[in-house]
A and B are shown apart, each in its own frame.
Chain A
Amino acid sequence: MAEFITFFFGAAIILAGAIGVVAARNAVHSALFLIQTLLGVAVIFVVQEAHFLAAVQIVVYAGAIVILFLFVIMLLGVDKAEDLGVEPIAGQKPLAVVLGASLLATAITFVLVATDGATGVGSADPERQLDSGITDIERIGRVLFTEYAVAFQLTAALLTIGVIGAVVLTRSLPTADQLDDLEPASMDLPSLAPEGANDEHHVDAVDEDAS
Chain B
Amino acid sequence: MILAELALTPPYYLVLSALMFAIGATGLLIRRNPLVMFMCVELMLNGVNISFVAFGADLNDVGGQISVFFVLVVAAVEVVVGLALVVAINRRRADATADDVSLLRG
What residue in chain B is nearest A70 (Cβ atoms)? B35
Stretch at the interface among A110-118, A179-187, A188-196: A110-118
A138 to chain B: closest CB distance in Å?
10
Tally of A interface residues using CB under 8 Å: 87
> Which of B8, B60, B74 is within 8 Å of A4, CB to CB?
B8
State whether A122 touches B61 (Cβ < 8 A).
yes
State whether B84 touches A169 (Cβ < 8 A).
yes
Of A3, A14, A112, A121, most buried by chain B (CB within 10 Å of CB) is A14
B61 to chain A: closest CB distance in Å?
4
State whether A121 touches B30 (Cβ < 8 A).
no
B52 to chain A: closest CB distance in Å?
9
State the CA gap A38–B42 with chains docked (Å).
Answer: 9
* Total contacts A-B at CB 8 Å: 235
State whether A104 touches B18 (Cβ < 8 A).
yes
> Which of A1, A38, A61, A151 is within 8 Å of B70, CB to CB?
A151
> Which of B32, B87, B91 is within 8 Å of A82, CB to CB?
B32
Chain B residues near A3: list those with CB within 8 A: 8
CB neighbors of A among B36-56 (8 A): 36, 38-40, 42-43, 46, 49-50, 53-56
Give chain B's interface residues, CB within 8 Å of chain A. 3-4, 6, 8-27, 29-33, 35-36, 38-40, 42-43, 46, 49-50, 53-63, 65-66, 68-70, 72-77, 79-81, 83-88, 90-91, 94-95, 99
